[in-house]
Amino acid sequence: MTQHRSHVDAIEHSRVLREQVISLLYESLLRKVRPMEALGDKARSYPAFVTERIEAIDQQQAIIEATISENLYDWSLQRLNPVDRSILTLAVWELSFKPDLPTSVIISEAIRLADLLSTEESPKFLNGVLAAVANQCRTKGPVVPS
């Protein structure tokens, strides 16, 4: 029972950390600044999980955005609501650059975040986009922006 509880606690902890990453990405979109600028002086107050992801996303932003854009059928990156765009950004980075994380975990966490933080339609929409991204990234690699 203790081992199961510690596993559940670890999952819950990673969810809280992902919410912190989403919050910083959301802030960067609203302020129209890079993710590292949104993190700014607050970096010391966040766990490494959060700061490492924000730094990596900031460095790989062009690749992440190109990958998202390529998988938005009849939609554009600019039309996405900031919450969905933030969730997609984290999930696409994880799909592209964290091969040790299972695809199913990344997508289910993104859907859970959308269910918690976004619109009623968002989980289904993000599931479709992320399934296409996963197929692309996990077989061919991320999109190289032109």
**What pLDDT digit, counting tens, does each position of 119-135 carry?**
999 999 999 999 999 99
What's the number of CA atoms in the CB half-sphere (13 Å) around residue 19? 13
pLDDT mean across residues, the chain: 90
Whole-angstrom distance, CA of residue 76 vs CA of residue 57: 19
Residue 31: count of CB within 10 angstroms of its CB: 10
- Are residues 57 and 35 in contact, defined by beta-carbon separation less than 8 angstroms? yes
What's the whole-model pTM score? Answer: 0.89
| Distance set, CA 56 to CA 38, 94, 128 (Å) | 14, 10, 24
